[in-house]
Amino acid sequence: MKRPAHEIPSGNAVVHDINGTATVCWKMERLGKDYVHHYLIPLDPKADGELTLLYVDPEETIFDAQCAVVFDCPETGDDPAETGDVLVNAVGSFLKVAEDPQSQKMFAYIDLASGAVRRRQERGVTGVCRNWSASGEGFSTEDLLVQYAKA
């Protein structure tokens, strides 16, 4: 179902056209001082280069897959975590992404359990997952792209 970004819950799987390619993304929200900022994180196909929060206008129409994003992190490696890795610490598991280029911050950490955007999660890292995959809860990314094409 297509609807404005501000109507889509944070943490949902969405499909959006990024640079001419239908891309499965993770919809995020960050509470600002006066309003809510809306972001997408490209999951499939993964972007070339750094995994980055992409700002999206709250009124922009996006395909909402109406399901949560689920991560599979089958293996862990050693610290340090690079951009695009999932890191594990005492607080939880976090996807490390580059901030929106307009931000003055370098990195954001997305809590895999809640979808919350957090800061400074690189202390006490106990594991790093570099070869993760993501899907919509109950749907493969291929299923989501087919749904998008039919919408």
**What single-letter amino acid sits at 52?**
T
Determine the pLDDT at residue 5. Answer: 96
In whole angstroms, what is the distance from residue 101 CA to residue 112 CA?
22
Alpha carbon separation from 14 to 23, 136, 150 (Å, rounded): 8, 9, 14
Q: pTM of the entire structure?
A: 0.83
Count of residues making up the chain: 151
Domain locations in the chain as residue ranges? 2-150
Handedness of CA 9, 15, 16, 18 (dihedral sign): positive
Q: Please, what are the averages of pLDDT over each run of 10 residues along the chain (151 residues)?
A: 94 90 89 85 76 91 90 77 89 87 77 83 87 79 83 77
